[in-house]
Amino acid sequence: METSELKGAKGIVAVIALFIIFVGVMTSFMQLNGNVARGISPEYNSLAFRQAPNNLASWVYDFRGFDTLIETGVIYVGAVVSVLAIGRGIVKVNGVREEDPVPQTSLDFKTESIPVILKYFGLPAIMLVVSYGLLVVTGASTSGGGGFQCGVIVSSAYLLGMVFYGKKNPLNLGKKFLIGLGSVGWATYALCGLPGYLTTNYWQYNVGTDIWSAYPGFPGAVPEMLRQIFGDPFRLALTLQEGTFNSTAGLVPIINLGEAFNVIGAIGLIFLVFVYGWSDSEEGKKA
């Protein structure tokens, strides 16, 4: 934007807005003076050794619960809108069977025309990106990885295949597969709350870790068998300054798997609709 455009009413509004922001930020800084409300973090920190190495992921799950799932729901809304606006499958079901939903001209590359490096390294790159995505989701409880990141990375591999090979995408994620993946992801995420609800009355209580039951007044008790089923597969030896603790992330890795499936399904469907279009006449394959 040119500064000349800020003359007149626009300029006055801009100056007032900047002044309000400046005063607000400066006042906040002046009021800080060590008075940061720490909230629930001291309690979480005192329990850190009982949780997974990636404490943050565990606490986010413990504190925010379904938040991430609903965020994924937003992407699904985007996918539905994409189908309606571009796929034409829902709006015009009969017409789709007779005509090409989306003309395949600009992205329908022939492999002979793409550079040699893409031709020979495209498939290995796609496979390695998928592997990286799977590494990220398996490291959800031990690193900064997670389900959402995995979903985005695997979807990127899918998009990479589309850009390199067009219709002949080697990562052939069909409509049926993506919908199935997303459905399993939603179900996994949602149903992971059931064990906690049945044993403690808290939906999505992390029964594998079960850290809050040590507090007096905590309702219900998690049976030892449930702790072992959900906790032991992800138990690690945390060697800290205070000693070695056999901690587990409990349900968090499973939740992240569900989330990864969710995101792959949602973003993959958007890519599929945007590039290939949507057709109800075909099952499981690109339109």
Partner 1 sequence: MSEFMLFPVLAGEITPIVIGFLLGILFGTQLAGAISRRTVILVLAMSVVAAFLFEAPIFTWSLAGGYITEGLSFAAPFISATVGLLVGKAAKGGK
207 binds partner 1 (CB under 8 A): no
244 binds partner 1 (CB under 8 A): yes
Q: Select from 170, 219, 220, 223 the one that contacts partner 1 (CB under 8 A).
A: 170
CA nearest neighbour of 140 among 11, 263, 14, 2: 263
- Closest approach of partner 1 to the CB of residue 55, in Å: 12
183 binds partner 1 (CB under 8 A): no
283 with 107: CB under 8 angstroms?
no
Separation CA 18–CA 258 (nearest Å): 43
- Span of 1-9, 72-80, 130-138, 193-201 interacting with partner 1 by CB under 8 A: 130-138
Tokens 């997974």 -> residue:
52
287 binds partner 1 (CB under 8 A): no
232 binds partner 1 (CB under 8 A): yes
- Span of 24-32, 62-70, 139-147, 206-214 interacting with partner 1 by CB under 8 A: 139-147
192 with 254: CB under 8 angstroms?
yes
248 binds partner 1 (CB under 8 A): yes
Q: Select from 80, 123, 190, 198 the one that contacts partner 1 (CB under 8 A).
A: 123
72 binds partner 1 (CB under 8 A): no
138 binds partner 1 (CB under 8 A): yes
Separation CA 103–CA 277 (nearest Å): 9
Long-range pairs for 98-104 at CB < 8 Å and ≥24 separation?
Answer: 100/277, 101/276, 101/277, 101/278, 101/279, 101/287, 102/275, 102/276, 102/277, 102/287, 104/166, 104/167, 104/276
The CA angle 80-81-85, to the nearest 5 degrees, is 120
- Closest approach of partner 1 to the CB of residue 205, in Å: 20
Task: Give the HSE-up count for residue 160: Cα atoms under 13 Å, Cβ half-sphere.
Answer: 19
Q: Which residues pair with 237 in a beta bridge?
A: 246
118 binds partner 1 (CB under 8 A): no
Nearer to partner 1, 42 or 243 (CB): 243
Q: Select from 132, 202, 203, 218 the one that contacts partner 1 (CB under 8 A).
A: 132
- Which stretches of the chain bind partner 1, using CB under 8 A? 53, 123-124, 127-128, 130-132, 134-135, 137-139, 141-143, 154, 168-174, 177, 232-239, 244, 246, 248-249, 253, 257
